[in-house]
A = this chain, B = another copy of it.
Amino acid sequence: MTHTTDQCSARPPGRPRSERAAKAIVDATLDLLAEEGGVAGVSIEAVAARAGVGKTTIYRRWPNKEALIIDALAALKEPLPEPRGVSVREDLIAIARAFVADKSDKKRVDCYWSVLGSAERYPELVERVTREVIEPRREVMRAALRRGIASGELRPDLDVELAQWIITGTITHRARAAGAGPVPVDFAERIVDAVLAGFAAH
């Protein structure tokens, strides 16, 4: 062994890549994605300018805009809610609360909205976000609903898929509605109680 640098991961020679620069680039990308309202509005030049970084520094790490955005979106992932409460009502409220909290982060919502709005142009991006972020969260809610049916708390003929659309759709729509202001903190409980009890009298 003539090498003394065989430590572990074979650190390459030369100046190491700045971690600060990488973070600044990702942050700037998300900022622009949220502000410009679309993937098309994000330009490498704008990202570089906002991050206080040379374009070289970006192109050294990512081959193009799509790859940068994909990596940036990964930084948005939040841990899945894992409710195992005593009742369906509490499980659903916990999940809905996590949704509302997510949607209260304006930057986060705007990023997802921007990406999903660019479906025709960047199908790969949309497919990836759907698979890695949206679908797992939908599954958590479906599982909670199925548990409720099994425990007898929910009507046995409940359409789980439809029920799931109702809860997530309401929150999403409310969060994105123009001019409706921020989602109230108790929105999760109110919607769960409303759909559990039903609109009809008695």
List residues of A whose CB falls within 8 A of some B CB. 35-38, 40-41, 110, 113-114, 116-121, 126-127, 130, 134, 145, 148, 152-156, 158-159, 162-163, 165-166, 168-174, 176-179, 190-191, 194-202
Q: A37-B40, A169-B173 are in contact. List 12 more A-B contacts (CB 8 A).
A: A37-B117, A38-B41, A116-B178, A155-B201, A156-B201, A166-B195, A169-B170, A169-B171, A170-B170, A173-B173, A194-B195, A198-B198
User: How many protomers of this protein does the assembly include?
Assistant: 2
Q: 10 closest A-B pairs (Cβ-Cβ)?
A: A198-B198, A169-B173, A117-B117, A169-B170, A38-B38, A169-B169, A196-B200, A130-B178, A155-B201, A166-B170
Q: Is the CB of B120 within 8 A of A36?
A: yes
- What B residues does A176 contact at CB under 8 A? 116
Q: How far is the CA of A15 from the CA of B7 in the complex (A)?
A: 83
- Shortest CB–CB separation between residue A129 and chain B, in angstroms? 8
